[in-house]
């Protein structure tokens, strides 16, 4: 890899000056209450909401891992980047219920729909899951990227990035996060877009790339007999994970809850869906380009996860190399800031406020800042553990999420679409589902200790995509069956929280929150998703 020169460092320095300038401007504004600190006063416009959704999703592990998929013959995982239609579902289906209920967090919504037990379970599980997956993996990938780009030791890169991100997240709250994420999204799109263009030019164009790696390489649909990525379980499990992540996860949903109203929140999700179409071209294709250049003898790398940084350092000219480096740093910082802020929100409002309901707003904001410091500290403590992670970060994340998401997705979907589901059905699904998912994860870790061919070995050896699909069906069954043994929720409790209990006034209000252009743009996004799915198949290639 080529190192950064003086002009690159100037560009990176300018980026950080702008970023810190915006963060400082926000910090100087008073954060008087929890709505100001955790939801930016619910006064954010659609452009910032959409950019924030995109920047929260795209972290260093995403950039590095997705390019690694492109370079490492894991094209089926492309389906996780075609979830723009699920981002639309957030705005069109879920947001109106969240906004009408006036909640700050997703566990709080479950309490409104079911009872306090569901809120406690989801709060605690979400916090543990964030620290063990999102925080730890993002810090690990960020440390690798920063050390590779800036030529500094892994530990220094990881710690410096975490501390800097944690600082402006603690002081500025959600407003600092969403405004800095908007800048980071713009930098990332421009930088990665230029790299994609230069990469395709270097490899000889799209036709030459297909000829070099082979047309079959681009096929994302493999037969159901495929041991790794059978197409039907892949589609089902990826959709379940997508519904959990895009429609019910605190990190993403908190962005649309900052919007001025439902109209701005929905338009923000539509804009976020448009941006979500870009990673295929900005990160996955450069990975395939890196593979093509390696096969042509023009580039060399050892691990697929090195494809993006090596391609960037060798193809980008001085200055632009600094821009892409800044974009990668932006991806790392935006994802970390999002998780830090969401963890702080969950702890303060769903745990601390429930235990200390008499505490004033100023005290809750102070607690939120302390909670962020605590999450930063836990993230740093995890660095020695996550350095043992091997290649394939992106697949690792999807694997773990396939065991976390089914019970949560089932409870939220049924909670909104099926009014017969009650609190006992929800808590049985959440607790039972998490036990099942954790057991499968534990069995996978211990698989080598079981006798090959034994029942425990076969259970541990079930493909994670196949298991995810059956697991989701199991969670739906638990919720429905258990609910039938207990009385249905009252109409008063369900008012405005399910499709069957939306008042005529609320329906009329909903109709006024969108226009023909919102519909046209949403349909266009859906058509693009279908086109990409068809294009990346042997049918057209």
In a domain, 196, yes or no: yes
Q: How many domains does the chain have?
A: 1
Residue 351 inside a domain? The answer is no
Does residue 382 form part of some domain? Answer: no
Residue 421 lies in a domain: yes
Confirm whether 249 is domain-assigned.
yes
378 is a domain residue: no
Query: Rounded distance, CA 32 to CA 56, Å?
Result: 25
End-to-end CA gap in the chain: 33
Q: Report yes or no: 522 and 88 within 8 Å, Cβ to Cβ.
A: yes
CA atoms within 13 A on the CB side of 5: 10
Q: Are 286 and 192 in contact (CB under 8 A)?
A: yes
Q: How far apart are CA 330 and CA 286, in angstroms?
A: 18
CATH code, domain carrying 143: 1.20.1730.10
Give me the phi and psi of 238, to 5 degrees please: -65, -35
Q: 122 lies in which domain range? A: 44-338+395-536
Tokens of 356: 């200390």
Task: Confirm whether 366 is domain-assigned.
Answer: no
Global pTM value: 0.86
In a domain, 79, yes or no: yes
Per-residue pLDDT of the chain (541 residues; tens, 9 = 90+): 566 788 888 988 888 888 778 878 877 776 666 666 666 567 788 998 998 888 778 766 677 777 877 888 788 888 888 999 999 999 999 999 998 888 888 999 999 999 999 999 999 888 877 776 777 777 776 776 667 666 777 677 777 777 777 776 677 676 777 777 778 778 888 888 888 899 999 999 888 988 888 878 888 898 888 888 899 999 999 999 999 999 998 888 988 988 888 999 999 999 999 999 988 888 888 889 998 998 888 888 777 877 887 888 888 888 888 887 777 777 677 777 777 777 888 888 888 888 888 888 788 878 887 887 787 777 677 666 555 544 455 556 667 788 889 999 999 999 999 999 999 999 999 999 999 998 888 888 787 788 888 888 888 888 889 999 999 999 999 999 999 999 999 988 888 889 888 888 888 888 888 999 999 999 999 999 999 998 888 644 3
């Amino acid at each position: 890899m080529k190192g950064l020169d003086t002009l690159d460092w100037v560009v990176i320095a300018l980026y950080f000056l702008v970023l810190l300038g915006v963060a400082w401007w926000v910090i100087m504004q008073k954060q008087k209450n929890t709505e100001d600190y955790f939801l930016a006063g619910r006064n954010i416009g659609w452009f910032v909401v959409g950019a924030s959704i995109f920047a929260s999703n795209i972290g260093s592990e995403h950039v590095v891992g997705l390019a690694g998929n492109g370079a490492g013959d894991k094209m089926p995982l492309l389906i996780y980047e075609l979830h723009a239609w699920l981002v639309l579902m957030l705005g069109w289906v879920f947001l109106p219920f969240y906004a009408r209920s006036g909640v700050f967090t997703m566990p709080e919504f479950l309490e409104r729909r079911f009872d306090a037990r569901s809120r406690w379970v989801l709060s605690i599980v979400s916090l543990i899951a964030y620290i063990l997956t999102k925080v730890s993996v993002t810090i690990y990938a960020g440390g690798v990227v920063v050390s590779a780009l800036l030529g500094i030791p892994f530990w220094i890169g990881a710690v410096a990035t975490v501390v800097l991100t944690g600082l402006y997240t603690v002081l500025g709250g959600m407003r600092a996060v969403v405004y800095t994420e908007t800048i980071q999204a713009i930098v990332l799109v421009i930088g990665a877009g230029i790299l994609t263009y230069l990469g395709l030019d270097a490899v000889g164009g799209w036709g030459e790339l297909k000829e070099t790696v082979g047309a079959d390489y681009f096929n994302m649909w493999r037969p159901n007999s495929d041991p790794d990525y059978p197409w039907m379980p892949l589609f089902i499990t990826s959709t379940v994970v997508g519904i959990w992540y895009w429609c019910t996860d605190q990190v993403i949903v908190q962005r649309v809850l900052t919007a001025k109203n439902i109209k701005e929140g929905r338009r923000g999700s539509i804009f976020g869906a448009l941006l979500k179409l870009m990673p295929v071209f900005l990160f996955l294709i450069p990975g395939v380009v890196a593979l093509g250049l390696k096969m042509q003898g023009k580039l060399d790398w050892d691990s697929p996860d090195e494809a993006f940084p090596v391609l960037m350092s060798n193809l980008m000219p001085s200055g632009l190399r600094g821009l892409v480096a800044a974009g990668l740093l932006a991806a790392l910082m935006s994802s970390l800031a999002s998780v830090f802020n969401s963890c702080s929100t969950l702890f303060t409002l769903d745990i601390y406020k429930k235990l200390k309901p008499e505490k004033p707003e100023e005290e809750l904001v102070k607690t939120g800042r302390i909670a962020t410091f605590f999450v930063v500290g836990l993230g740093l403590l995890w660095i020695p553990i996550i350095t043992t992670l091997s290649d394939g970060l992106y697949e690792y994340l999807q694997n773990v999420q396939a065991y976390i998401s089914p019970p949560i997705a089932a409870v939220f979907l049924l909670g909104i679409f099926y009014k017969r589901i009650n609190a006992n059905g929800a808590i049985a699904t959440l607790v039972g589902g998490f036990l099942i998912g954790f057991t499968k994860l534990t069995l996978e870790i211990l698989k080598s200790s079981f006798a090959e061919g034994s029942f425990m070995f076969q259970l541990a050896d079930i493909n994670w995509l196949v298991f995810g699909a059956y697991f989701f069906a199991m969670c739906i069954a638990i919720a429905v069956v258990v609910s039938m043994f207990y009385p249905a929720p009252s109409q008063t409790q369900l008012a405005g929280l399910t499709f069957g209990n939306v008042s005529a006034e609320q329906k009329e209000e909903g109709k006024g929150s969108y226009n023909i252009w919102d519909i046209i743009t949403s349909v266009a996004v859906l058509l693009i998703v279908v086109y990409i799915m068809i294009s990346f198949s042997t049918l057209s290639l």
